[in-house]
Amino acid sequence: MSLRARISTPEEHGSRGEDGHLVASYRAKLLEEIDLAEMSSLAAAERRARLERVLGHIISREGPVLSTVERSQLIRRVVDEALGLGILEPLLEDASITEIMVNGPDAIFVERGGRVEQLPLRFVSADQLMQTIERIVSTVNRRVDESNPMVDARLPSGERVNVIIPPLSLSGPILTIRRFPRSFTLQELISFGSLDEHMVYLLAGLVQAKFNIIVSGATGTGKTTLLNALSGLIPSHERIITIEDSAELQLQQTHVVRLESRPPNVEGKGQVTIRDLVRNSLRMRPDRIVVGEVRGGESLDMLQAMSTGHDGSLATVHANSAEDALTRLQTLASMSDVEVPFVALHDQINSAVDVLVQLTRFADGARRITEIALLDSHGGEPYRLATVARFDAQPMTPDGRVHGTFAYFPLPRRTADRLYMASQPIPQAFGVARTADQLATREAR
């Protein structure tokens, strides 16, 4: 077999054992001569140039007969593998891919436009996959091994990476890479059918009138994307503090302070939690606090902040419905080290949360707001949710698409008054309920 054939094109990268072995053997030789860790102080471009130079010497020394093209292809592949993510590299460069899922060495899936497909690619072995994973996690100073078999991290380039390895995973090392999400404007989200103009009009009023808003949804339903777009409605003179586990929000305002939590280092030290950051942010004179995702005891601090003058805060929570989001906030708040009776938490939520925005990802990959609800209960009353917008889905069409329409319901009096006092218009599509039975309410415990 000619070397030209053995050095495959990027699409075939690693798809045949023999190429993989050629690249692997040069990679091993390269790593014998160079210490990657020592090079970590160099900038990426310098590091690459240095490796290319050393590898060029090795190839000349070993003397395989290669054309200029073959030689540069071989160098590129070996250096990609030594430095980068090997067969994953072209996938990361492909802007249409939003998620890369590696289920062991033989199964690589990607998500494109909301649809998941398997690619005809494979790693040479579980070992090679493990090496790639180690390379990824070591760039963020983390380690993955049997005693630390789960890692969640963000790459310097913004991608979010999750790794879980045997013995926890029964199908070999598992790697999930979430591309740094592109931010979408509300106008773009309208064009995708995720919400409509009337809903944007209402949400803009609610954000500007400083309602506290919780965006809820399951994994990957577009919570962060919507939070980002909604944050864009905050007036630019306000001081915004964003708090996230992995900084994904891309606020356009000038007065923004971005805080990011920190996992413990290899020795298990130095952790700074979302909760620490929420507490600290209260001493930073915020006009608004935006919490990327509430998933622990910070729920309590955030609720306290929301009900004590830090109005207009925004956060997301992982939940399948608006009532679920309330229970989840309550449960998370009860996980905090401060013991607060459940009843008191209930009161706290009633006074802190104003609006719930529920997102759903449909079978066809579309993400939509499926409900906007106002929390219209006080004190110890059971949660009373007034739906003001809802997506009514129709049965799936033969081509697998889900269509439907948005429906609107009158706003509670209290909400309308607050909008009015903040000089925000009442969107006509909704109107205001004159009597309680005009509201689309339901109770939840």
Contact residues: ligand ATP, CB under 6 A: 98, 181-182, 189, 192, 194, 217, 219-225, 293, 367
**Shortest separation between residue 148's beta carbon and Mg ion, angstroms:** 24
Helix, strand, coil % in the chain, rounded to nearest 5: 40, 25, 40
Question: Strand, coil or helix: what is 294?
Answer: strand
Element (H, E) at 434: none
Which residue's CB is nearer to ligand ATP, number 103 or number 438? 103
Which residue's CB is nearer to Mg ion, number 224 or number 424? 224
Task: Give which of ligand ATP, Mg ion, none residue 98 binds (C-beta under 5 to 8 Å, depending on kind).
Answer: ligand ATP
Contact string 229-258 vs Mg ion (x = CB under 5 A): ------------------------------
**Shortest separation between residue 222's beta carbon and Mg ion, angstroms:** 8
Task: Give which of Mg ion, ligand ATP, none residue 194 binds (C-beta under 5 to 8 Å, depending on kind).
Answer: ligand ATP
Q: Which residue is nearest to Mg ion (CB)?
A: 224
**Shortest separation between residue 178's beta carbon and ligand ATP, angstroms:** 6
Q: Which of residues 200-229 bind Mg ion (CB under 5 A)?
A: 223-224
Exposure string for 115-151, b = 16+ CB within 10 A, e = fewer: eeeeeebbbbbbebbbbbbbbbbebeebebeeeeeeb
Residue 299 as a binder of Mg ion (CB under 5 A): the answer is: no
Which residue's CB is nearer to Mg ion, number 223 or number 310? 223
412, 374 contact by CB (below 8 A): yes
Exposure string for 351-390, b = 16+ CB within 10 A, e = fewer: bbbbbbbbbbbbeebbbbbbbbbbbbbeeeeebbbbbbbb
Residue 126: C-alpha distances to residues 105, 123, 241, 270, 283 (Å): 5, 7, 43, 32, 49
Which residue's CB is nearer to Mg ion, number 224 or number 441? 224
Element (H, E) at 417: helix 413-421
**Shortest separation between residue 218's beta carbon and ligand ATP, angstroms:** 7
**Shortest separation between residue 390's beta carbon and ligand ATP, angstroms:** 17
Q: Which of residues 5-24 bind Mg ion (CB under 5 A)?
A: none
The count of residues interacting with Mg ion (CB under 5 A) is 2
Q: What does the block give as tokens for 336?
A: 């905090």
- Maximum Cα–Cα distance across the chain: 88
Q: Which residue is nearest to ligand ATP (CB)?
A: 222
| Interacting residue ranges for Mg ion, rule: CB under 5 A | 223-224
